[in-house]
């Protein structure tokens, strides 16, 4: 028996020696949270590994709720969230916790009506449809905005996200902004109590349903709609123009939005003439004072890189980069992180 | 007499009962761990949901409101959806599973059995999310355009088959779950039927029974308790099915008589909303949903045990 045992011990010893030699002197910075920016963050961390090989980022896209919880309990070095933290949650932070906007995205209205129709729609009508008040496609509210379309006398089937998501947050934030009725009856959140319609899980659940059911309407991320070639509507912005959602019109919306010093803002329905109104940003959550000097230093270096080189990678992945003015403000705040 | 030959199978030398005792403890530990695990899961769920329990009390169980914005939560539509979708699944999967098992043990030519068994076991290996995607892109369009339309035309007088057809529905969820629990129901039924002694069948044949009569009086009624047990195990699976169900049920917290209407299950709402639940009360309410699911599963299983006890024993055949 003994020889086998000693072999095992030798093997274990060898393994531990191996893992010790394999592990380089590399620092690991952990983050967790939002799912919407996960593709761009992965890209950033990959690219950044080439810039600074001495640090490795590990990001778990567990959702904004989990991201906020984990940064509050300091089990991660940075958090990420698709919605700004509430005052209540922010008050639970042991030290000052800062929001850093990274990239922006938009929600598009996708639909299934006969013909290759390009729908035009305004906020009040979208709210009416999702409140269950506008129930037919040939309703004057829709037909009035689309005089050149021949809209069917068909029921509108509303499809929304069933899983809690930043996409829903942006959409309901927009509807609360443009419709007092929506604000009073439903409100905004990552999940809400929908007055009507059916829930699809994820972008694929919503778009699958919209693609298949004639007369349906739903909202998905711009990224997803573009990559899957879904039809999407031009939405009327606060300047009265119908704007096609695109990376440019989202960055335009960001530039036009009124952004407070703490970066907790909603960019829905901003004033710009060419701004697409249903857009939102996503945030990294970082403590103003870093406990670990070395990690803090690396994290700040990374943020600086993200705001310069990182932003340039965004359009290729269908995310809207931040406008220059906002990047400048964010960089100033990054400089004042203490470590 | 005094020189009795020592038997060759001598008792082990004293002191070597060590392995025996060790084995007993290891086995006992393993069994105890299951109980400990269940108790700990229950405790953890209770602990996580104490905020919601304090706030909503027992009203949580019969409130139909689910509003994360105003933080008003109730579990009734989810309990309803879980029970109804599981029931639909059982109604489809048990007859199919038992029939398949009967075919495999009693009727199928020997050469055919193994391929079918492998096919059924492959079904069990398909991940839940694949069933869900298949549901969205293949099953749902067919249900919406064919089966549901047909049901509405011929059985539309029943409240079960009325209302608008979206595709995503309670019935679609039931059908998906049925497919997913079919392997376990079939496999267990097959084992049960295989364990029916041949003596049973021979006796029935000796009485001049036809093949069908043999199956009915000698096999099925003998195996009744076991088959019921197979259904209960299937039900356990059905109650907890999450991902595929979420993708096809329509996720609408409502109680509707129509099976064409969308519904929602306990497991689905937790899977959907837990990751983005940012407030304590919201998260606590989702924990309580988990606790309710845990309780529903225990109650349903307990009820099944009681029914099992009241069923006629698996001993001598009772001819109806």
**CA-nearest residue of chain A to B244?**
A201
Say what the pTM is.
0.82
Domain identity same for A130 and A222: yes
A298 Cβ under 8 Å from any chain B Cβ: no
CA dist., res. B232 & res. B89, Å (int): 12
Which of B266, B275, B281 would you mutate first to test chain A, the one with the most A CBs within 10 A? B275
**CA-nearest residue of chain A to B139?**
A212
For residue B283, which residues of chain A lie inside 8 Å, CB to CB? 65
For residue A204, which residues of chain B lie inside 8 Å, CB to CB? 133, 136
**Domain total in chain A:** 2
Burial B180-212 (b: 16+ CB within 10 A, else e): bbbbbbbbbbbebbeebeeebbeebeeeebeee
Structural domain of residue A318, as residue ranges? 27-105+280-334
Q: Cβ(B236)–Cβ(B297) under 8 Å?
A: yes
A61 Cβ under 8 Å from any chain B Cβ: no
Residue A241 Cα, gap to closest chain B Cα (Å): 31
CA dist., res. A83 & res. A212, Å (int): 31
Domain identity same for A139 and A255: yes
CA dist., res. A63 & res. A71, Å (int): 12
Domain identity same for A87 and A43: yes
Q: Using CB atoms and an 8 Å cut-off, which of residues 228-257 of chain B contact chain A? A: 246-247, 250-252
Domain identity same for A271 and A284: no
A200/B251 touch (CB, cutoff 8 Å), yes or no:
yes
A73 Cβ under 8 Å from any chain B Cβ: no
**Nearest of A208, A161, A213, A129 to residue A35 by alpha carbon:** A161
Given B164, B168, B264, which is nearest A209 (Cβ)?
B168
* Residue B311 confidence (pLDDT): 73
Please check whether residue A3 lies inside any domain of the structure.
Answer: no
Last residue of a domain, one of A279, A302, A323: A279
Domain identity same for A134 and A273: yes
Q: Using CB atoms and an 8 Å cut-off, which of residues 117-176 of chain B contact chain A? A: 132-133, 136-137, 140-141, 144, 164, 166-168
Q: Where are the domains of chain B?
A: 79-271+302-312
* Residue A86 confidence (pLDDT): 86
Query: Could you give the C-alpha distances from B118 to A31, B114, B122, B178, B213, in angstroms and in order?
Result: 44, 6, 6, 18, 29
Query: Could you give the C-alpha distances from B115 to A113, B109, B110, B194, B253, in angstroms and in order?
Result: 46, 11, 10, 17, 42
For residue B279, which residues of chain A lie inside 8 Å, CB to CB? 86, 88-89
What residues of chain B score a pLDDT lower than 70? 1-15, 312-320
B68/A162 touch (CB, cutoff 8 Å), yes or no:
no
Please check whether residue A190 lies inside any domain of the structure.
Answer: yes
Domain identity same for A114 and A186: yes
Please check whether residue A10 lies inside any domain of the structure.
Answer: no
Please check whether residue A100 lies inside any domain of the structure.
Answer: yes
What residues of chain A score a pLDDT lower than 70? 1-25
Domain identity same for A158 and A268: yes
Domain identity same for A198 and A326: no
**Nearest of B243, B284, B261 to residue B48 by alpha carbon:** B284
> In this structure, which topology does domain B79-271+302-312 adopt according to CATH?
MetI-like fold (1.10.3720)
Domain identity same for A142 and A191: yes
Domain identity same for A199 and A115: yes
Q: Quote the crossing angle between the two packed helices B280-310 and B266-273, to the nearest 10°.
A: 160
Place of tokens 């996720």: B251
Question: With helix as H, strand as E and coil as C, how does A105-160 read?
Answer: EEEEEEECCCCCCCCEECHHHHHHHHCCCCCECCCHHHHCCCCCCCCCCCECEEEE
CA dist., res. B102 & res. A42, Å (int): 53
CATH of the domain at A154: 3.40.190.10
A192/B250 touch (CB, cutoff 8 Å), yes or no:
no
* Residue B304 confidence (pLDDT): 85
B250/A199 touch (CB, cutoff 8 Å), yes or no:
yes
**Nearest of B187, B55, B49 to residue B117 by alpha carbon:** B187
State the maximum Cα–Cα separation within chain B, in Å, rounded to a whole number.
94
Last residue of a domain, one of A259, A279, A299: A279
């Amino acid at each position: 028996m003994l020889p086998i045992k000693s072999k095992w011990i030798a093997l274990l010893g060898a393994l531990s020696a191996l893992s010790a030699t394999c592990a380089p002197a590399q620092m690991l910075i952990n983050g967790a949270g939002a799912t919407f920016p996960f593709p761009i963050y992965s890209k950033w961390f990959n690219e950044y590994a080439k810039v600074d090989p001495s640090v490795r980022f590990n990001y778990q896209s567990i959702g904004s709720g989990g991201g906020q919880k984990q940064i509050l309990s300091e089990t991660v070095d940075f958090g990420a969230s698709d919605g700004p933290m509430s005052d209540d949650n922010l008050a639970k932070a042991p030290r000052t916790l800062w929001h850093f906007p990274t990239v922006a995205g938009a929600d598009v209205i996708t639909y299934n009506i006969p013909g290759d129709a390009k729908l035009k729609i305004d906020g009040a009508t979208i709210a009416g449809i999702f409140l269950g008040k506008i129930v037919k496609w040939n309703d004057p509210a829709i037909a009035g905005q689309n005089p050149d379309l021949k809209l069917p006398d068909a029921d509108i089937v509303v499809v929304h996200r069933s899983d809690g998501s930043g996409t829903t947050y942006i959409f309901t934030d927009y509807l609360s902004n443009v419709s007092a009725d929506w604000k009073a009856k439903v409100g905004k959140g990552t999940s809400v109590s929908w007055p009507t319609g059916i829930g699809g899980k994820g972008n694929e659940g919503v778009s699958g349903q919209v693609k298949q059911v004639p007369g349906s309407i739903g909202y998905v991320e711009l990224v997803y709609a573009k990559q899957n070639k879904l039809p999407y509507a031009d939405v009327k912005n606060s300047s009265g123009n119908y704007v096609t959602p695109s990376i440019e019109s989202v960055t335009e919306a960001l530039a036009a939005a009124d952004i407070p010093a703490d970066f907790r803002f909603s960019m829905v329905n901003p004033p710009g003439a060419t701004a697409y109104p249903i857009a939102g940003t996503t945030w990294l959550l970082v403590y103003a004072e870093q406990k670990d000097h070395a990690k803090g230093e690396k994290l700040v270096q990374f943020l600086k890189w993200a705001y310069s080189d990182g932003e340039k990678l965004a359009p290729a992945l269908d995310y809207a980069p931040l406008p220059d003015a906002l990047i400048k403000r964010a960089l100033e705040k990054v400089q004042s992180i203490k470590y | 007499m005094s020189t009795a030959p020592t038997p060759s199978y001598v008792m082990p030398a004293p002191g070597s009962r060590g392995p025996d005792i060790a084995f007993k403890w290891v086995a006992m530990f393993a069994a105890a761990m299951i109980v400990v695990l269940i108790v700990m899961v229950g405790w953890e769920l209770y602990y996580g949901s104490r905020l919601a329990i304090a706030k909503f009390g027992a009203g949580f169980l019969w409130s139909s409101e689910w509003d994360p914005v105003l933080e008003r939560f109730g579990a009734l539509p989810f309990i309803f959806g879980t029970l109804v979708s599981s029931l639909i699944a059982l109604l489809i999967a048990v007859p199919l599973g038992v029939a398949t098992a009967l075919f495999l043990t009693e009727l199928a030519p020997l050469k055919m059995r193994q391929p079918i068994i492998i096919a059924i076991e492959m079904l069990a290996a398909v991940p839940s999310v694949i069933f869900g995607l298949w549901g969205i892109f293949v099953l749902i369009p067919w249900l919406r355009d064919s089966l549901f339309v047909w049901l509405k035309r011929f059985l539309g007088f029943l409240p079960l088959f009325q209302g608008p057809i979206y595709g995503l529905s309670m019935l679609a969820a039931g059908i998906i779950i049925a497919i997913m629990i079919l392997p376990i129901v079939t496999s267990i039924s097959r084992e049960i039927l295989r364990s029916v002694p041949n003596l049973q069948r021979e006796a029935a044949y000796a009485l001049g029974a036809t093949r069908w009569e043999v199956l009915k009086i000698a096999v099925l009624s003998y195996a009744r308790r076991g088959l019921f047990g197979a259904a209960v195990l299937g039900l356990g699976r059905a109650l907890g099915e999450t991902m595929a169900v979420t993708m096809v049920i329509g996720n609408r917290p409502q109680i509707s008589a129509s099976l064409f209407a969308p519904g929602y299950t306990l497991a689905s709402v937790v899977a959907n909303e837990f990751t983005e639940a940012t407030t304590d009360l919201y998260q606590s309410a989702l924990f309580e949903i988990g606790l309710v699911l845990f309780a529903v599963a225990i109650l349903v299983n307990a009820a099944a045990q009681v029914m099992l006890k009241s069923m006629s024993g698996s001993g001598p055949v009772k001819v109806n």
